[in-house]
Amino acid sequence: MVSAKTISFGIACLLRGVQAGPTVKLGTGMTVQGRTSPIAPSVAEFLGIPYAKPPVGELRWEPPQPYEPKGYSVINATALPPSCWQYISVHPAMMRTDVPEFMIGKAGMSEDCLTTSVWVPTKAVGQAPELAVIIWFYGGGFATGGTDVPYQIPTKWIERSQDHIVVAFNYRINLFGFPDAAGATEQNLGLMDQRLAVAWVRDNIKSFGGDPDRMVIWGQSAGSVAVDYYNFAFADDPIVRGLIMNSGTAHLNQLMSNDVVYSNFSFVAEGLGCGNQPDAASELACMKKVPAERLEKFVATYEDSGDSPSITFAPMVDEKLVFSNYTERAARGALSTLPALATHNSQEGHFIAPYSVDGPDPAVAEELSKRYFWCPTYKTTKERLAAGRITHRAFYNGNFSNISPRPWFGAWHGSDLPLAFGTHADFRGNSTALEYETSHAIQDAYVAFARDPVNGLDEMGWAAYAGARGVVRAYADNNTAVGYRSLDTIESECEAMGLA
């Protein structure tokens, strides 16, 4: 469908006879009206382009359907789009209390949220496609996140590079993306959204000056887990040429739902007046009529209450998009042949340890770092190497006060992202010289990998990981922006714990 906003915007543009900013025409015939970045005139931004039909009404909890413009349409892509429905807990936590720029921003939330956004050097718009493309999968535990996250806006990165494109997109999360509902034909709808978005980029990125044969997908935390899920689910047709995984792989199985009897969905249905239905199909049909805000409010209120049992809506094994046997699949080569870049941080567990302004119990935080991030990354790397897949590794150890405002934060989970996106100096004061240098090194490596996932990092002196006790790239380690080191202690402990 074409919204009234889209139609009126198109008519207004026609009546004025002028263009408010950069414009591209897609193969579908749809025109996308973007804007010149208000903070970087060398960057064009095309924000909130629909890639799927709104997943509302009868399309709620259904596989995504490609967006189909009807007739002449101009898409107003000049403002950051709303994120998909989610709730932000009221309980104190590192991100919410001290660094809220990791949460979604001012664009709000909507069930009509399946959009892509493209950041591109202004000079590339309308030119022959040649730029490498990095496609961003946001994290947030499959429960939060979106395009509108202040720390994850790539404008300044594009301004500095002028040599690549970043595409971000929204995908359904929480109850809307992973309903675990007996009446639903598919449970991993958010992962299906991701695949459709990547296909949309392949089909349309030429119009923005991007090269569809030089695209990589990049995720962090749950987004990184999703990148690895994608690696296995679409092994024979990955579309992209490389994988960047920050702090998460398919072995981070703590994010997976085990609700095989679909009790969580039925619990919510009962609480909203859709219980006691004659069958699962009727339950789903009833729930499709409940306003989205009521659905999310019920989940938020119950979860924040601390009542037991907790309810979780997350990816679940379907043996199509999420598998039960990643080790076995890797051993028989049932994963893509794509090169990968896998990273983790030195204080990952700080953000999920019980929160205190004075810091977590160090032993608890380290244990969480190992079980959730360090060991799954090492295990995935070992399995990739055994399967003959090129894999580079990096370790981030930055402790910068404008990103880690309490001294004990350290290189916590996600703290590397502002350096990658170039937003590290946007909040709580300017960055140090070391912070800028580290940021530029991370950015340059990602762009080199996107341009050539096979050889790009080797050409800049970063060799692929060679095996246990091998050398990894180290960022902001020992007061040095870029260095190399072994992670032998971490790897040995993961092996001793049986986690690798």
What is the total residue count of the chain?
500
| Gap between the Cα atoms of 479 and 195, Å rounded | 40
Are 215 and 364 found together in one domain?
A: yes
Active-site entry in 45, 296, 348, 491: 348
Are 26 and 135 found together in one domain?
A: yes
| Gap between the Cα atoms of 85 and 294, Å rounded | 11
Give the other-Cβ count within 10 Å of 239's Cβ: 16
Cis-peptide, bond into residue 309, ω within 30° of zero: yes
Give the other-Cβ count within 10 Å of 159's Cβ: 18
Backbone angles phi, psi at 274, to 5 degrees: -110, 20
3-state class of 136 per DSSP? strand
Are 279 and 343 found together in one domain?
A: no
Give the other-Cβ count within 10 Å of 307's Cβ: 10
Active-site entry in 350, 392, 413, 424: 413
Q: At which of 246, 274, 305 does a domain end?
A: 305
CB of 403 within 8 A of CB of 101? Answer: no
CB of 89 within 8 A of CB of 304? Answer: yes
3-state class of 494 per DSSP? helix
Question: How remote is the C-alpha of 273 from its chain's centroid?
Answer: 34
Backbone angles phi, psi at 387, to 5 degrees: -90, 0
Residues with Cβ within 8 Å of residue 39, at least 6 apart in sequence = 155, 156
Are 194 and 76 found together in one domain?
A: yes
Whole-structure pTM value: 0.95
Both tokens of residue 227?
Answer: 């990148």
What pLDDT sits at residue 475?
98
Both tokens of residue 24?
Answer: 């591209």
CB of 180 within 8 A of CB of 135? Answer: no
Task: Label the pairing between strands 242-246 and 210-220.
Answer: parallel
Identity (one letter) of the amino acid at 97?
T
What pLDDT sits at residue 76?
95
Nearest to 161 by CA among 210, 208, 121, 214: 121
Both tokens of residue 476?
Answer: 């902001």
Are 298 and 322 found together in one domain?
A: no
Question: How remote is the C-alpha of 88 from its chain's centroid?
Answer: 17
Are 267 and 127 found together in one domain?
A: no
Active-site entry in 161, 221, 247, 431: 221
Total count of domains within the chain: 2
Q: Does the annotation count 344 as an active-site position?
A: no
Are 279 and 376 found together in one domain?
A: no
| Gap between the Cα atoms of 15 and 172, Å rounded | 36
Instruction: Specify the CATH number for the domain of residue 117.
Output: 3.40.50.1820
Nearest to 394 by CA among 449, 355, 432: 449
Q: Could you write out the DSSP letters of every residue in 94-129?
A: IIIII-GGGS--TT-B-S---EEEEEEEGGGTTSPS
Cα dihedral 100, 105, 110, 112 sign: negative
Nearest to 484 by CA among 370, 379, 394: 394
Are 295 and 359 found together in one domain?
A: no
CB of 486 within 8 A of CB of 469? Answer: yes
User: Given strand 31-33, what is the order of strands in its sheet?
Assistant: 23-25, 31-33, 74-76
Please list the helix, strand and coil fractions of the chain in percent, rounded to the nearest 5, in that order.
Answer: 35, 20, 45
Are 47 and 192 found together in one domain?
A: yes
What pLDDT sits at residue 27?
84
| Gap between the Cα atoms of 195 and 197, Å rounded | 5
Q: Does the annotation count 348 as an active-site position?
A: yes
Strand ranges (DSSP E) for 192-251? 210-220, 242-246
Are 293 and 383 found together in one domain?
A: no
- β-strand partners of 135: 167, 217
Q: At which of 271, 305, 339 does a domain end?
A: 305
Q: Residue 186 burial (CB < 10 Å; 0-12/13-18/19+)?
A: middle
Q: Does the annotation count 350 as an active-site position?
A: no
What pLDDT sits at residue 20?
65
Are 123 and 229 found together in one domain?
A: yes
Both tokens of residue 204?
Answer: 């349309």
Are 108 and 218 found together in one domain?
A: yes
Domain that holds residue 293: 263-305
CB of 378 within 8 A of CB of 494? Answer: yes
pLDDT along the chain (500 residues), means of 10: 44 44 90 97 98 98 94 89 93 86 95 98 90 98 96 98 97 97 98 98 96 98 98 98 98 93 96 96 98 96 91 96 98 98 97 91 96 97 97 98 95 97 97 98 98 97 94 96 96 95
| Gap between the Cα atoms of 419 and 436, Å rounded | 8
Nearest to 190 by CA among 349, 55, 392, 25: 55
What pLDDT sits at residue 94?
84
